[in-house]
Structure 1
Amino acid sequence: MKRKIRVSKTLSVILLSVALVLCAWRIWYVNATAYSFETQEYGIGEWIPLNGDFFYSKEENTNGYSVRVREAEVVRYEDFMQRFGKPVDYLAENTQHDVVLLTVDFKNENNTDGGVFIRDFNLLNEAQSAYFNKSEIYMKIANPDLNSKADGISVMPGTEASLYMVYPTSSRADGVTYLEEQAGKEQIVMYLNVSLYPVKKCVRMVLPMP
């Protein structure tokens, strides 16, 4: 009887070991073969064909649309306000920040009922570990005819349009911006997402610091 018990325990240990090995192999296999979305990286000045790529739903219908970041720069608050014809004290002191200013072009070849979802054109740091939303206040200053709360933009087929996208890079509770954290650097690298699915398309930008 004792021998049978020892054999049974040995067999149990073997079976448990096999089960653990199989479990570990399955986890590795699933991770190794899991479907990952393609990422395409572009540079400043390059047209990005969206080809139906979207942020949340294919109903955004971006077929025929292309996007380009024509210019990208870090602009001091005072220079930004002067450029767009506003006095320095136009904004409350606690909202006066240097900004990342992008000139973004939108081109529509033949789409009659779609557009580009710009609400989530978020800016990301080099590590892509933090993202920054564009500012409604600054967007309105730079684009006075734009509904700053608009989620998307549509362009007539066969035409192009441009927008200024403005990012104060605010994220911390104490009001310190990402640009302020990077003070002293000669340049920074930022990314702009223009779609997430099924292909993530982004623009890599090297920005000199003022």
Structure 2
Amino acid sequence: MGMKKKGFLLSAIIATAGVVWGMRFWYLNNHAQMPVTETYQMNEVVEYGDNFFNRSGELREGYAIEVKNAKILTYDEFKQKYDITPPEKAAGSYCPEFVVDLEVTIFNRGTENEECGIDLFNTLFTSSCIRMPIDLDLWSSLYPQLGGSYTFRLRENSSMDFHLPYIVENESDARIADRDYMLDRPWYLNISLYPVKKRIEIVLCEQ
């Protein structure tokens, strides 16, 4: 086979592969199942069900959460309120000005599966353009028995109250999220992403 024919055949194979890939990309983007969003209110007990964030192996069925209160405090006010001493921030490093203190109750409503439990790492506090994580230093100081982990399990048919300390995590976001922004915008606590995106609408108040 001549070089021209070989080149033509190779080009045809590449072109066909490109068309197949493009058709597959179009199909997936137009037929992918999008998560349904369910919005709940504070003081509602919200079941986690079989929903998850990143992988279907996140086992939280049988657990539920209720947000009871939501306040904004300065970082120092939060430390003083709960009489904790988190590690000092390194000199020159970013230190958040505010803490959003979410008072929640988490329930194990009957699951006996010891693999089920809660991981708060992806349970973010969000507005339309800001994503706030739980501050690990404050969390670890509040609950040293967890050993610096966001993950825990509760006994069957039991519940436990927690304070979730959310912070603006960098200076860029802090330039947007001042006190007025925090109090004037709608906020949500996201507890799952797929197949149902469950979120709880949060009304912040000042200390």
In the alignment of these two chains, the number of paired residues is: 177
SS of 1:58's equivalent? coil
Q: What percentage of residue pairs aligned between the two structures are identical? A: 21
Give me the CA root mean square deviation: 2.9
Give the Cα separation in 2 of the matches to 1:191 and 1:109: 24
For structure 1, the residue ranges without an aligned partner over 5 or more in a row are: 1-26
1:54-98 deviations in Å (ceiling 9; x for gaps): 1122322211111111211111223212111147x9734742521
Structure 2 partner of 1:67: 65
Structure 1 partner of 2:166: 167
CA drift at 1:101: 0.8
Runs ≥4 in structure 1, deviation > 4 angstroms? none
For structure 2, the residue ranges without an aligned partner over 5 or more in a row are: 1-25
Structure 2 partner of 1:138: 138
TM-score under structure 1 normalisation? 0.72
Give the Cα separation in 1 of the matches to 2:197 and 2:182: 29
Larger Rg: 1
Alignment of 1:38-187 (within 5 A): 38-86=36-84, 91-92=88-89, 94-95=94-95, 97-112=97-112, 113=114, 114-125=116-127, 127=128, 129-148=129-148, 150-173=149-172, 176=174, 178-180=176-178, 182-183=179-180, 187=184
Give the Cα separation in 1 of the matches to 2:162 and 2:70: 12
Structure 2 partner of 1:19: none
8 A contact 1:40–1:200 mirrored in 2? yes
Give the Cα separation in 1 of the matches to 2:181 and 2:201: 21
**Are the structure 2 counterparts of residues 204 and 184 from structure 1 closer, same or farther at C-alpha, using a change threshold of 3 Å?**
closer
CA drift at 1:185: 7.0
TM-score under structure 2 normalisation? 0.73
